[in-house]
Amino acid sequence: MKLNFKRLPVILHDLGMVFLAWALAMVIRYDWPLPPEVQDIFWPVLLLVIVVQGLVLWYSGLYKGIWRFCSMPDFARILRAAALGTLMIVLTLMLFNRLAGIPRSSLIFYPCLLIFMLGMPRLLYRLYHEHSWLISTPRNQHVLVFGAGTSGDMLVRDMLRNPSCGYIPVGFLDDESRLHGGNVQGVPVMGSIDELPNFMDSVPIDVIVIAMPSASDQQMQRIVEICERSGIPFRTLPKFDNLVSQQVNLSDLRDVSIDDLLGRARVELDWEIIHKGLQGKTVMVSGGGGSIGTELCRQIARLQPESLVIFERCEYNLYQAELLLRQEFPQLTLQAHLGDIVDKVAVQQVLSRYKPQVIFHAAAYKHVPMLQGQIREAVRNNIIGTRTLAEAAVAQNCESFVLISTDKAVNPTNIMGATKRAAEIFCQAINAHSNTHFLTVRFGNVLGSAGSVVPLFKKQIARGGPVTVTHPEISRYFMTIPEACQLILQAGAMGRGGEIFVLDMGTPVQIRYLAEQMIRLAGKRPNEDIPIVYTGLRPGEKLHEELFHVEEALNRTAHRKILLASQRSAEDWEGLIEHLNQLQCACDHYDEVAIEQLLKLLVPELHEEALVELEVQQAMAG
């Protein structure tokens, strides 16, 4: 340890305590004044004790610790230093005067007194700093903490250690009855969360902190409703999988977001299998600049691939994704390419150049009402583009190809869903005619993704409303972007080719509830401060989405959140290729009537209403 003059007062304090401990040990044995024969050797022996014990204290690393944050490791160092110091003093005194005039009982009293004298000042100093919050200042906020578990304990400890943080913990509420009446860090656990109204008049509460990062969405919904009824501002901690190093501190506090209410319990993944499937391989993500694609790239980058290739048609999205990945993963070998999956030459060039072993196909048009009137663009991008990329993957002997699909492909009532279903059909069919493993991952809406209702509602609320919902009863399945991407990786690692994996999306959420909660989280009242207006279902929009077809029997997999949809009747490969060739020709000639007829033949479950709507829009456009 280098000499640090800032620690000099602490060193002098400890040497003073050594002096007092040895003197008291002798006085306890002999009383005061000391016998003449002991007085003759007292000062030389005391000097020797101070030198030996001082060296031991220095060697033990005791001066690396800070009194304000002293903890059990510091007290363990004191115990070791006192024991080792006593042993070294005995050995030194035996060489010095064979312990003449040194009573054996003093050698027992000395380490006990030293431990007390070194430890007690440190403890008192820490208690002084941790409880200086009792002296309240006007800018301090009185905090009621929901959750007296590990996270609440760490959070309150951080508040107590930092009296200037502006937070004064006044109590805990926790549904665990065995904790009621106890104390955590000296702060009382007063009762259950439902009892909040009982304490609002008797306890000063300026803000509520929800310290329950492992809470389920149902628990969070209930807690947020209680907070909203109280009228007290509230904040929360991120979920455990979003916390750095699983540690909790004040910097993690943030406002409650809609993800906290609709995101589910933490996803447990078999990272060993996922890591094994991608480590050291070249991985390509089409549409890697989109919301799903970018997060997918982030997850893949953590798994140490040989290189990551992003193929994206939007220049700005590609720029943002590349910037993010290069900042977050500076060691990653990253290839960012502008290109369109429908451009066969560009696709073949990129695949022949980098030879990816795994491809995640996330590039797609997905805006239902917009695509309803633009069947050619939907078919060209979602079907022809998928075929182009898939055939190039086969030509380059790619190991696996993961198609990212949607719940709208099930019994489609819109053009977008029909095109995604056609892409599923093609991937299942080509799997039987190639060495590349093709598999499909199907899931519902993703919170905060581009084009989702969440960003739209945020903008509408910021403008003061109204918030537009298509139907009072409309519902959708939701999951967070990280959860969706992690489950895509898990399904990709599990697949052997030809499967359609369906992600367990939990319980569908009413869009009306989503709008109301977002308004409340913005500090407004639904239909009072911010009106909600129902505009009617849009073209091709379902009231309730489905995740699997009636002919697709669902089977469990090794992962509880991933289901396997059994394959329907096999497609005629030659007939399918002929259909796709005709679609390509119809797209080249911009023949929307032919495209519509061919899409109906390819996806017979496409509801007639969707085609009627398309014909109406085409007639109006004509």
The domain boundary, picked from 104, 128, 152, lies at 128
The whole-number pLDDT of residue 65 equals 59
- pLDDT over 70, % of the chain: 83
In terms of DSSP bridges, do strands 167-173 and 141-146 run parallel, antiparallel, or are they unpaired? Answer: parallel
> Which of 421, 438, 454 is CA-nearest to residue 361?
438
The whole-number pLDDT of residue 94 equals 81
* d(C-alpha 601, C-alpha 319), whole Å: 40
- 76: Cβ–Cβ under 8 A, 6 or more apart, which residues? none
Which DSSP symbol is given to 526? Answer: B
Query: How large is the angle between the packed helices 415-431 and 573-588, nearest 10 degrees?
Result: 140
User: Do residues 459 and 537 both lie within one domain?
Assistant: yes
pLDDT digits (tens, 9 = 90+) for 535-579: 888 777 778 777 666 666 667 777 777 887 776 666 688 889 999
User: Do residues 119 and 141 both lie within one domain?
Assistant: no
- 365: Cβ–Cβ under 8 A, 6 or more apart, which residues? 371, 377, 378, 381, 382, 416, 419
User: Do residues 122 and 163 both lie within one domain?
Assistant: no
pLDDT digits (tens, 9 = 90+) for 91-116: 887 887 777 767 777 788 888 888 88
Strand partners, 480: 447
* d(C-alpha 498, C-alpha 384), whole Å: 19
Domain membership flag for residue 558: yes
Tokens in use for 576? 């399918």
Total number of domains constituting the chain: 3
The whole-number pLDDT of residue 185 equals 79
The domain boundary, picked from 65, 96, 128, lies at 128
User: Do residues 92 and 120 both lie within one domain?
Assistant: yes
Instruction: Please give the full DSSP string across 554-598, using - where no structure is assigned.
Output: EEE-SSTTEEEEPP-SPP-HHHHHHHHHHHHHHHHTT-HHHHHHH
User: Do residues 251 and 284 both lie within one domain?
Assistant: no
User: Do residues 123 and 139 both lie within one domain?
Assistant: no
User: Do residues 379 and 467 both lie within one domain?
Assistant: yes
Domain membership flag for residue 615: no
- HSE (side-chain half, CA atoms, 13 Å) at 573: 8
Domain membership flag for residue 618: no
- 145: Cβ–Cβ under 8 A, 6 or more apart, which residues? 152, 155, 156, 169, 171, 172, 173, 187, 208, 209, 211
The predicted model gives 141-151 an average pLDDT of 85
Q: What angle do CA 95, 97, 101 make, to 5 degrees?
A: 140
The predicted model gives 180-205 an average pLDDT of 84
Higher pLDDT, 154 or 329: 329
The predicted model gives 317-334 an average pLDDT of 93
Burial (CB count within 10 angstroms: exposed 0-12, middle 13-18, buried 19+), residue 491: buried
Domain membership flag for residue 68: yes
Domain membership flag for residue 368: yes
The domain boundary, picked from 69, 100, 128, lies at 128
User: Do residues 351 and 448 both lie within one domain?
Assistant: yes
The whole-number pLDDT of residue 393 equals 95
Domain membership flag for residue 296: yes
* d(C-alpha 301, C-alpha 308), whole Å: 7
- Under the banding of pLDDT at 50, 70 and 90, the label for residue 392 is very high
1: pLDDT strictly greater than 50? no
* d(C-alpha 322, C-alpha 311), whole Å: 11
Q: Which of 300-304, 350-354, 507-511, 568-572 has the highest mean pLDDT?
A: 350-354
User: Do residues 457 and 321 both lie within one domain?
Assistant: yes
Enclosing domain of residue 552 = 271-609
Tokens in use for 426? 């093609």
Domain membership flag for residue 58: yes
User: Do residues 252 and 357 both lie within one domain?
Assistant: no
Cβ(383)–Cβ(422) under 8 Å? yes
User: Do residues 431 and 524 both lie within one domain?
Assistant: yes
The predicted model gives 237-244 an average pLDDT of 53
The predicted model gives 22-50 an average pLDDT of 77
Domain membership flag for residue 441: yes
pLDDT digits (tens, 9 = 90+) for 443-500: 877 776 666 777 788 888 888 889 999 888 888 877 778 888 888 888 888 888 888 8
CATH number of the domain within which 228 lies: 3.40.50.720
* d(C-alpha 212, C-alpha 315), whole Å: 40
End-to-end CA distance of the chain: 85
Q: What is the pLDDT of the chain when averaged over all its residues?
A: 82
User: Do residues 577 and 510 both lie within one domain?
Assistant: yes
Statement: the pTM of the whole predicted model exceeds 0.85 = no
The whole-number pLDDT of residue 416 equals 92
